[in-house]
Structure 1
Amino acid sequence: MGTNTQFFQIAAIIISLAAFGEAFWLYKWVKALPASNPQIASIGKLIKNGANTFLKKEYETLARFCGVAAIIIFVFLPSPIWMGNPLDNVIVVVAYLCGTIFSAIAGKIGITVSTIANMKAAEASTKGIKPSFMAGFRGGAVMGMAVVGSSLLGVTLVLILTDNTTALLGFSFGASSLALFAKAGGGIFTKTADISADLVGKVELGIPEDDPRNPAVIADNVGDNVGDVAGMGADLFDSNVASMAAALVIGSDIDTINGNTINSSMVLCYATLGLLASIIGVATARIGKNGSPTRALNSSTYITTGVFAALTGAATYAFNFEWRIWLASIIGLLVGVIIGIASDYFTNDTKKPVHIVATASESGPAFTILSGISYGFISAFPAMIGIGVSALAAYKVCEPLGPGYAMFGIAMAAVGMLSIVAMIISNDAYGPIVDNGRGLVEMGDLGDTALEITDSLDSAGNTVKAITKGFAIGAAGLTVIALLGTFISEVNVKITELNIATPDLHMPALTGFDIMDPLVFFGLLVGAAIPAVFSAMLILGVQRNAQRMIKEIHRQFNEIIGLREGKKGVVPEYDKCIEIATTGAIKELVPAGLFVIIITVLVGFIGGVKATGGFLTGNIISGLLFALFMSNSGGLWDNTKKYVESGHNGGKGSDTHKAAVVGDTVGDPFKDTAGPSINTQITVVSLVASLLSTFFLTMSIF
């Protein structure tokens, strides 16, 4: 059989539709589960309304931003409208808007299913661990199937309709710009509520985590949905699209030179088989009557990994693809698993680092913070080495195939690492669903056995979340290295065009970036500083918002008579806290996102393509380090708190517990606001640079 791209495009569409089919079946299965508890139904309704209100306001704000961005893109990209073909500009604008719409839909689907699945998981916990686990996992899997199905379908349709890789970058930029704001906004919302609820509830008043007396408790549960489900869905949608876009741009450049379509076909084939492997993995996920939820989640990931390796091996043989490129993909996939295992070691409450931080907490919160930060920094080391080794190995394995293949190898390692992303999203979305389920069990007073079951499901969600975050950051690392290759290849295409148009120009092609060149070094320093400033802006946003909410919680406890004592019929004003979190998050999310885009454009116009190359390199290295450090130290503090709460080192209510809660409060914006937003930030600046490469080449100051 020949390697006709059309065949693989049709296959990609069929498998995407199969993923939507499975998502719909799982959604129906979750919705059909029994729901009879009126208390849970009324609290679940409050959570659902709060999440939808926030999402509506956030999307209204982002629609205005996207509208302005679309006008700018129409005027300037891929070349100024007065200089090029206006139709090309229209194509890029439409692709950009489609990217934002697909990304927004991914978030909306996540909210819709998670706010149903949390109630079902809560009620199922009265029947045992198995039904409750399946409700949480299958709810999360709806998200996994829908997000990856729509990203593969979107990329394939853009390719079929435009046959234009710049349009593909436009689609990817739409997805990543929306993801950047959705992740930042959701992260600020969720951590505002979480920190406020913890500091007033646990530290000041000594009341349980999800006590219905706490005015911030519903906002906290809403936050799990808008931050960890909708934001994370948009984030991984973006990573998946960006990895495919980078591989397709580099692959089609090589194909153009060689006069075939084999590399583009290979990207589509592997992405399609990754989704197929995830469909199989989700369908086979099971847990025994008294099984371990962590083992069930991890084993389904390993099954998916094995199925992907086997399917792509068979396809490589059948379609006569290059075995070296297959090997690069498998290297990416295995390193993703290894990064996940490393993250697990530093954050799992059965492992040594958590126990050491819990012991340190006996001496007060200062030692909780110091030990947690130290282990967070150490944890970044194996992951950074993993990303570096996989990039180097993929580069060297594919280098003998000819010019361009080394960078294509790195791009395919990223595609390999993200091939099982539907499974990763399913595991990740499971976490906030069962976390909400646990809260509903406590608020609905379903008894100690149900609470123990949802506690163990929540603990597994936290452990797996650390693995999936490590995986997502590792994949983003490889993707942005590939996007750096995309930037070079876009610049070189333009240099060739300029040399043809002006025969005596003789502009040399770009082969890399010499850090001894002052322009490159200038860009490197600015790029390395961006993740730190971006993180600070988001964390300060959380802090300002949380201070406003804590004032409101104090007001309610002081003014609403009988609330503190928990008198029957006395209900806090939950909507006031939801309103504070919503307004603050929307106010804080735009400046941080705009800051990184504006600085990228300024560096390009000042120093041209060389400074931009340095900027991207510095941004990638510093961004990966910050993202890994913050995600892992945050996860470590969270599980230390849970470890102490389960009766170790003094248990609940002790001074150790208070110190651990302070650590968790610091870790919250680390792991759920700044950390996961950084990998989207790196992707956004890489895509802005690639899209504006023509300007940076022809119109810079130096």
Structure 2
Amino acid sequence: MSRQFLADGLELSGGDRGVVAVVAVVALAALAVGYVLLKEVLAAGQGTSKMQDIAKAVQEGAAAYLNRQFRTLGVFVVIVFVLLFLLPADDTGERIGRSLFFIVGALFSASIGYLGMWLSTRANVRVAAAANEEGGREKATRIAFRTGGVVGMITVGLGLFGASLVVLVYAGQAPKVLEGFGFGAALLAMFMRVGGGIFTKAADVGADLVGKVEQGIPEDDPRNAATIADNVGDNVGDCAGMAADLFESYAVTLVASLILGTVAFGAQGLMFPLIVPAIGVLTAVIGVYITNARTGENGLSAIKRSFYISAIISAVLCTVAAFAFLPSSFAGLDGVSDKIKQTAGNPVLIASVAVIIGIALAGIILWLTGYFTGTEYKPVKEVGQTSLTGAATVILAGISIGFESAVYTALVIGAAVYGAFLLSGSVIVSLFAIALAGCGLLTTVGVIVAMDTFGPVSDNAQGIAEMSGDVEGPAAQILTELDAVGNTTKAITKGIAIATAVLAATALFGSYSDAISQALAKASDATGAAASTAFSFIVFSPNVLVGITIGAAVVFMFSGLAVNAVTRAAGAIVFEVRRQFRDNPGIMDGSVKPEYGRVVDICTKDSLRELATPGLLAVLAPIAVGFGLGVGPLAGYLAGAIATGTLMAIFLANSGGAWDNAKKLVEDGNHGGKGSDAHAATVIGDTVGDPFKDTAGPAINPLIKVMNLVSVLIAPAIVSFSVGANPQTGIRLTIAGVAALIIIAAVVVSKRRGTAIAEAPAETVSNGVG
């Protein structure tokens, strides 16, 4: 059967469908490997009964939180599903498919997040137990990393299976349907990232301020009522939230690649972006299984080695696939426009070099982030040194590191984007190359997810060990080392995640422009509309500059809302933990058990209550700008959000990571060690950095992609209301006004809530009301 190119897209040949089917099988194989790794992790010993009791409390708290969160988000998902169905589409089948796969993307994102939480809350006690055994460092490292490997395999398996299923069912209409899939994944990931981040950092900040600073007891001392909530938070924030975040990065990058690929490379452009991550499945399996720390070796060295080996294998195999699957000239690509065919360039070289650029970008960010946040490098050592002069200098040093590292990382990401863009003289092919660079980066996503999950599992393991008192001496030191390694791996994965956001968002500009062009072509006065400043993307046009400014401002507002939410929730935790110490003197001598459940309940209520405002801002701000100012200013809005979001996310993540590991340096005996003034200073720095690195910073990544996908989805509607014989200006401005008013109302309510903690009586605050 030969390929046929229809009015509504291309139809796949039997051979093409065979390729996609193989990719789907590879995706299912990834799920099978994840199951094998799962059985291996669960087969490990669980330590003493006291350790298991503590782990069970963490498991119950994490499950209760996520169950309540999903019930809350379920209503929101249904509302968005209905609104998405009402948006314009070429036909009813496309509209139904887009809306249904929005649900599928959201369900996949939620499932991966829940699995990440479920397994990490069971692996933590096993890592703690392994540290007590012979060869403890190597065993504990392997269990923690393979726990992440399970989540990594599920992430790549579901992401690849979902995309290949859409391509098999919808063929040429797949890119439009995939917009819904990516939007569902990104939207739910953003909510899980924000909610989990608020939970974990409220508990962490409250535990540190009252326990470490005021009472002078260790971080995970069982006398601190916030310790269980702190350990629960690690799982619902760093495991569930980040797992969902990396899944949506995977899904949205595939969406951008497939949308552009059909235009740039025809049918092969729909196939090759699926082949690249399928190769990534193989390299992820290799990367997880070769991660074994040698005797006495630092865990970070073993993780980095396996990452670089798997990255090199990916680069080689993807290059081989490009030469085997793609023709050497555009003339050999069916369904590509004559204009693109006339563009000088070799599809094989464009695709292979673009993928290599993405893989190289991941490696460079790994090194760069590790340098600025690792305990063995100069930046963190300097932050630790400043603890001798107090908390203020610790905070200033960490902020300086965040600013500096953001510049270098942004330049590296910018170089990758521009390098991919230079691969072709055609803009659409160049944008496809940028999307392929994102696919290349994500060939390592299985290992990246494993690295990220390693952090909270190690952190929880140390907490369980300290609370139980059953892990001491060298074993306790092993867990401390793994916790420090985990801080660095978490910072690395956040850097890589924001890089994928930039690559995907930049590539989505192509689909945004294409959506506008198609909508204008359907309008009766397309020529006149195209000349209007409302549809101009010229950067020095004042209305576009206004859009850029608003986009940048939204990132600041979003970050401020997230940090302020942690401040409010942490304030409630501080009051509650203080109350328990005050009302129950027996807590300090160990004769009375703290009320852990009250703190978990406060964190749960406050984090879920705080979800609405950032979520509404992310979804409604593009609607207000687009319908109010036009698609040109909306393009500027996206550019401002991408640029500012990149710098802000890296600054927040790396500052927080540097403060956290500077605290670890002091706790290891440097500059006076635990209990010293230097230690108190680094605890304050770490407390400031907690909402930076684990709430606001990582949430910017899905924020950027949610706003991009909302813009792509609403662009045809904006055009249809703006041009034609009877432009619906009143309706358009009404939509913009309603969106703006909802945002304003949400922010006002949020700000009023912020003063309640200071004004409410202690008993009210301790109940999480305010």
Shorter-normalised TM range:
over 0.9
1:96-115 equivalence runs, <5 A: 96-115=102-121
**Aligned-pair CA distance for 1:166:** 1.4
The separation in 1 between residues aligned to 2:659 and 2:521, in whole angstroms, is: 53
Distance 1:491 1:279 in 2: 41
State the Cα distance separating 1:162 from its structure 2 match.
Answer: 2.3
Q: Quote the Cα distance in structure 1 between the aligned partners of 2:224 and 2:16.
A: 57
* Aligned with 2:311 (options 301, 305, 316): 305
Aligned counterparts, 1:547-566, within 5 A: 547-566=571-590
Alignment correspondent of 1:268? 274
Report how far residue 3 of structure 1 moved.
10
Of 466-475 and 94-103, deviating more is 466-475
Q: Which structure 2 residues correspond to residues 148-187 of structure 1 after superposition, within 5 A?
A: 148-163=156-171, 164=173, 165-187=175-197
- Which residue in the other structure is 2:49 paired with? 38
Q: CA deviation at 1:698?
A: 2.8
Whether contact under 8 Å (1:549, 1:577) holds in the other structure is: yes
Q: How does 1:359-398 map to 2 (within 5 A)?
A: 359-397=385-423
Contact kept? 1:175, 1:237, Cα under 8 Å: yes
Letter in 1 for 2:78: G
Question: Structure 2: 5+ residue runs without aligned partners?
Answer: 1-12, 328-347, 723-728, 734-770
Structure-2 residue corresponding to 1:416: 440
**Higher mean C-alpha displacement, 321-330 vs 228-237:** 321-330
Give the distance between the partners of 2:211 and 2:427, measured in 1 at CA.
Answer: 61
Contact 2:124 2:460 in 1 (8 A): yes
Question: What is the identity, as a one-letter code, of the residue corresponding to 1:161?
Answer: V
Q: CA deviation at 1:208?
A: 0.8
Q: Is the 8 A contact 2:141 2:292 kept in 1?
A: no
Matching of residue 279 in structure 1 with residue 279 in structure 2: no
Matched, 1:631 2:642: no
Residue 208 of structure 2: aligned partner: 198
User: SS at the partner of 1:208?
Assistant: coil
Matched to 1:241, the amino acid is: A
* Matches of 1:278 and 1:696, distance apart in 2: 42
Pick from 241, 247, 251 the counterpart of residue 241 of structure 1: 251
- Deviations, residues 278-320 of structure 1 (Å, cap 9, x unaligned): 1221122212232221111111111110110111111112223
Q: Does 1:331 align with 2:357?
A: yes
**1:336, 1:475 within 8 Å by CA — same for their partners in 2?**
no
* Structure 1 partner of 2:32: 21
8 Å Cα contact 2:530/2:536 also seen in 1: no
Q: Which amino acid aligns with 1:370?
A: L
In the alignment, residue 631 of structure 2 is paired with which amino acid? V
Please report how far the alpha carbon of residue 502 of structure 1 lies from its aligned counterpart in structure 2 after TM superposition.
5.9
Query: Structure 2 length as normaliser, TM-score?
Result: 0.87
The CA distance in 2 between the partners of 1:699 and 1:359, in whole Å, is: 60
- Which of 454, 462, 481 matches 2:487? 462
Equivalence for 2:130: 124
Displacement of 1:237: 0.5
Q: Counterpart in 2 of 1:575?
A: 597
Paired with 1:130 and 1:391, the residues of 2 have a C-alpha distance of 38
Quick check: 1:530–1:619 contact (8 Å CA) kept in 2?
A: yes
State the AA in 2 paired with 1:38: S
Structure 2 CA distance for partners of 1:549 and 1:698, relative to 1, 3 Å: same
Question: Can you list the C-alpha shifts for 1:224-274, whole angstroms capped at 9, x where unaligned?
Answer: 00000000011000111111100110111234xxxx411111111112111
- 1:315 and 2:321 equivalent? yes
Of residues 203, 228, 232 in structure 2, which corresponds to 1:222? 232
CA–CA distance in structure 2, aligned partners of residues 539 and 456 of structure 1: 28
Selected match of 1:70 from 71, 81, 99: 81
Task: Report if the CA contact (8 A) 1:11-1:272 is conserved.
Answer: no
Question: CA–CA distance in 2 between the matches of 1:527 and 1:200?
Answer: 38
What's the CA shift for 1:507? Answer: 3.8
Conserved in 1, the CA contact under 8 Å of 2:224 and 2:577? Answer: yes
1:138 and 2:146 are equivalent in the alignment: yes
- Give the CA deviation at 1:78: 3.3
Give 3-state SS (helix, strand or coil) of 1:420's partner.
Answer: helix
Q: 1:438 and 2:436 equivalent? A: no
Distance (Å, rounded) in 2 between the aligned partners of 1:306 and 1:147: 21
Identify the residue that residue 605 of structure 1 maps to in structure 2: 627
Q: 1:403 to 1:614 in 2, by over 3 A?
A: closer
Distance in 2, matches of 1:591 and 1:691, equals 21
Q: Which stretch shows the higher mean deviation, 323-332 or 41-50?
A: 323-332
Ranges of 4+ aligned residues in structure 1 off by more than 6 Å: 508-512
**Does the CA contact (< 8 Å) of 2:649 and 2:701 recur in 1?**
yes
Q: Aligned residue pairs: how many?
A: 687
Amino acid at match of 2:703: Q
Deviation at 1:409, TM superposition (A): 1.0
Rounded Cα–Cα distance in structure 2 between residues aligned with 1:253 and 1:46: 53
1:541 equivalent among 565, 588, 592: 565
Give the distance between the partners of 2:684 and 2:47, measured in 1 at CA: 37
Give 1:91 shift: 1.7
Secondary structure at the residue paired with 2:499? helix
User: Cα deviation per residue 1:91-149 (whole Å; 9 max; x = unaligned)?
Assistant: 22101111111100011111111111111111111111111111111111111111111
Q: Counterpart in 2 of 1:295?
A: 301
Q: Which amino acid aligns with 1:158?
A: V
Aligned ranges for residues 83-102 of structure 1 at < 5 Å?
85-102=91-108
Q: What amino acid maps onto 1:299 in structure 2? A: R
Structure 1 unaligned residues grouped into runs of 5+: none
Q: Which moved more, 1:39-48 or 1:552-561?
A: 552-561
Q: Counterpart amino acid of 2:147?
A: G
Letter in 2 for 1:279: V
Task: Work out the CA distance in 2 between the residues paired with 1:171 and 1:448.
Answer: 49
Which is worse superposed, 327-336 or 581-590? 327-336
Q: Specify whether residues 553 and 674 from structure 1 end up closer, same or farther in structure 2 by C-alpha distance, changes over 3 A only.
A: same
CA–CA distance in structure 2, aligned partners of residues 511 and 291 of structure 1:
58
Q: 1:484 to 1:305 in 2, by over 3 A?
A: same
- The alignment partner of 2:610 has SS state of helix
Q: Percent identity?
A: 38
TM-score by length of structure 1 reads 0.95
| Structure 2 contact 535–630 (Cα < 8 Å) conserved | no
SS state of the match for residue 572, structure 1?
Answer: coil
Match of 1:698 in 2: 720
409-418 or 665-674, larger mean C-alpha shift: 409-418
Give 1:5 shift.
2.9
Partner of 1:350, secondary structure, is: coil
Q: Distance in 1 between matches of 2:451 and 2:19?
A: 28
Q: What corresponds to 1:656 in structure 2?
A: 678
The residue matched to 1:61 in structure 2 has which SS? Answer: helix
